[in-house]
Chains A and B, each alone.
Chain A
Amino acid sequence: MIHALIDPFVEFAFMRRALVGCFALSLGAPPVGVFLVLRRLSLMGDAMSHAILPGAAIGFLVAGLSVPAMSLGGFIAGIAVVLLAGLVTRSTILREDASLAAFYLVSLALGVLIVSVKGSSIDLLHVLFGTVLALDDTALILIAAIATLTMATLAIIYRPLVLECFDPSFLASVSPLSSPTHFLFLVLVVMNLVGGFQALGTLMVVGIMLLPAITARFWAQDISKMIIVAVGAAFAASFIGLLLSYYANLPTGPAIILTSGAGYLISMLIGTQGGLLWQLMPRKHLEA
């Protein structure tokens, strides 16, 4: 049994690299996802993952399937969409979700168009769904660097970020950090999506960010515990997903995300914090 769990990683370097890449992603992206979920911005994560596509596509046009070029392009496009959507929200009647939706839809169409004009449909599949089994050193270093930077930044802005979610008026009354915190957080979202799209593609990277975070809500009452559970869930989904893809010959990205989805469904049923079964089970109430 243990051999079955370990052997693919012992035998094949590409499996080891995939595991390291996914674990690094699992350290940075799920904590960011926890804050997205708590701020009710889950769908914004999805929108942002589309927004980075044209930048990555331009990087691809300029330098082919180059990790730094596509990542830099994706990062610039993501930040541009965040800034533009913020600007439109502040200066017009549109709310942030609507202006983001407008920009990401345009971005998505533009990205697909750019890749299709120059590259083949295989290139398009690569950008949209990633190639977790073909992570090179540059991609691994990039993902690890982003995970490190994310954890360090979150540690620094953790308190204002919690307050920005829980009680933004209070934060505004005690500190001028409200806007910088919000912006830095959005930079973290974009960075993690860019880091993850090499492995899982622009369409599925948001899965490793959000599904573990949503899963964690069913197990933890406190935000720091939620972050720990989310990271653990992402680790488990990465490991099990890679094994499933190896033994059942399934595409790796979807296998990881589907495993994470299965974790969510199980948690929704048996999670100790508001899981369905606990609510259906008749239990005697306490004294106080």
Chain B
Amino acid sequence: MTQDNRPAIGFHDLTLGYDRHPAVHHITGKVDRGDLLALVGPNGAGKSTLLKGIIGQLKPLSGSLSLDGLERSDIAYLPQQIDIDRSFPITVFDSVSMGLWREIGTWRGLDRGLNHAVLDALAALGLQDLGKRSVGALSGGQFQRVLFARLLLQDAAIILLDEPFRAVDTKTVEDLLRLIGRWHREGRTVIAALHDLDQVRENFPKTLLLAREVVTWGPTKQVLTTKNLAKSRQLTEAWDEHAEICERGETGTARISA
């Protein structure tokens, strides 16, 4: 995958939320192609909402979002495990093979080549012996590997990860971080919502600090300062039933240039 100077994703005074209450509002900025970006912020800061906005699951309350030269099908998304019904009777092989959606669509079968691709993805995540097992019988870490194997098959230009290391053991985190590093070297754009700041400092060159709006956005070292983190904790407020109508228009958000 070659480097491209056009941004992968552009936010234009974007507000996303539920029932007129913004979860994140007035976001302006761009994610460059090939960025390895951490989304950081307290619970309720709007990280998951922003990712759901990017995949089109949530429509903007106002503002817009652009994918320059890319399409929604170029985006692969790792949802939080909580959004997935793990009691569903489906095998590891079948759930990983759904990563080939672009190739097989609604009803094409797997030919020999695609079958091998699934087996390779399973092997790459150390799941080669678990293909026939039901996903309900896996540990949290094993299931996260299944979701990463599915991402691997999606072969997408933009990869969105919603809390990818939640309840996952250290060994699995190391393996998955290696895979994320590989995606970054291949020139893919990776955005991950994360909580472990040390992990972000060590592995993610850029960070967007959110607290229902952009606190700061830029190189991780300059974003994750004590002052900025304290500010992010102050900004996150609970849903207010009696909130005033927001009159804010487009404003330049604090962005530190790389």
In Å, the complex CA distance between A38 and B88 comes to 7
Q: Are B89 and A172 in contact (CB under 8 A)?
A: no
In Å, the complex CA distance between A166 and B98 comes to 11
Q: Are B95 and A172 in contact (CB under 8 A)?
A: no
A110 to chain B, nearest CB (A): 32
Cβ-closest chain B residue relative to A155: B107
Q: Are A167 and B83 in contact (CB under 8 A)?
A: yes
A59 to chain B, nearest CB (A): 35
Contact with B98, one of A38, A156, A170, A226 (Cβ below 8 angstroms): A170
Cβ-closest chain B residue relative to A93: B19
Which of B73-81, B115-123, B184-192 is the interface stretch? B73-81
Contact with A170, one of B72, B77, B134 (Cβ below 8 angstroms): B77
Chain B residues, Cβ within 8 Å of A220: 89
Q: A159-B106, A173-B79 are in contact. List 5 more A-B contacts (CB 8 A).
A: A162-B88, A174-B73, A174-B102, A175-B106, A221-B89
Chain A residues, Cβ within 8 Å of B98: 159, 163, 167, 170, 174
Task: Let me know if B254 is at the binding interface, CB within 8 A.
Answer: no
| Chain A contact residues: helix, strand, loop or mixed | helix
Contact with A173, one of B57, B91, B134 (Cβ below 8 angstroms): B57
Per the CB 8 Å criterion, the residue count for chain A at the interface is: 26
Q: What would be 16 A-B contacts, judged by CB atoms less than 8 Å apart?
A: A158-B107, A159-B104, A159-B106, A166-B90, A169-B52, A169-B77, A170-B77, A172-B55, A173-B72, A173-B75, A173-B76, A173-B77, A174-B102, A217-B89, A222-B89, A223-B88
Chain A residues, Cβ within 8 Å of B91: 222
Cβ-closest chain A residue relative to B150: A170
Cβ-closest chain A residue relative to B129: A288
In Å, the complex CA distance between A203 and B84 comes to 33
Chain A residues, Cβ within 8 Å of B89: 38, 217, 220-223, 226
Cβ-closest chain A residue relative to B101: A174
Task: Let me know if A157 is at the binding interface, CB within 8 A.
Answer: yes
Q: Are B134 and A221 in contact (CB under 8 A)?
A: yes
In Å, the complex CA distance between A169 and B95 comes to 14
Chain B residues, Cβ within 8 Å of A163: 98
Q: Are B106 and A223 in contact (CB under 8 A)?
A: no
In Å, the complex CA distance between A80 and B56 comes to 28
Task: Let me know if A258 is at the binding interface, CB within 8 A.
Answer: no
In Å, the complex CA distance between A167 and B55 comes to 14
Q: Are A156 and B55 in contact (CB under 8 A)?
A: no
Q: Which B residues, 141 to 160, have Cβ-Cβ distances below 8 Å to chain A?
A: 150, 154
Q: Give 1 or 0 for each of A199-223: 1 = CB within 8 Å of chain B CB.
A: 0000000000000000001001111
Task: Let me know if B85 is at the binding interface, CB within 8 A.
Answer: yes
Q: Which A residues, 152 to 206, have Cβ-Cβ distances below 8 Å to chain B?
A: 155-160, 162-163, 165-170, 172-175, 177
Q: Give 1 or 0 for each of B98-117: 1 = CB within 8 Å of chain A CB.
A: 10011010110000000000
Cβ-closest chain B residue relative to A177: B106
Chain A residues, Cβ within 8 Å of B72: 173
Q: Give 1 or 0 for each of B47-58: 1 = CB within 8 Å of chain A CB.
A: 000001001110
Chain B residues, Cβ within 8 Å of A175: 101, 106
Contact with B85, one of A166, A172, A173 (Cβ below 8 angstroms): A166
Chain B residues, Cβ within 8 Å of A226: 89
Cβ-closest chain B residue relative to A34: B89
Q: Are B95 and A166 in contact (CB under 8 A)?
A: yes
In Å, the complex CA distance between A63 and B22 comes to 54
In Å, the complex CA distance between A222 and B90 comes to 5
- Scoring B52, B95, B101, B104 by chain A CB atoms within 10 A of each residue's CB, the highest score goes to B101
